Amino acid sequence: MKELISGLEQLFNIRLGNFYRVYQGMRIRKKSRTPFLDNLKESLEQRMDEADEN
């Protein structure tokens, strides 16, 4: 995990800070572990459905 995060930091030229604490927080979520990705997926599917209708 540390190597992956380090590579992403270098690739995007950013500092992610205490990534392990954030990851742990995501793991213990009850409702949804990935709300941003869930919303992104729903938006993409909606856009595709709208394009199919036209």
Q: Report which of 26, 50, 49 is spatially closest to residue 38, judged by C-alpha positions.
A: 26
Looking at this protein, which amino acid is placed at residue 25?
G
Residues 38, 32 contacting (CB under 8 angstroms): yes
* Separation of CA 43 from chain center: 14
- Residue pLDDT, tens place only, 1-54: 889 999 999 999 999 899 899 889 999 999 999 999 999 999 999 999 999 998
Measured between alpha carbons, how far is 45 from 54 in angstroms, rounded to an integer? 15
Measured between alpha carbons, how far is 50 from 46 in angstroms, rounded to an integer? 6
* pTM score: 0.59
Domain layout of the chain by residue ranges: 2-53
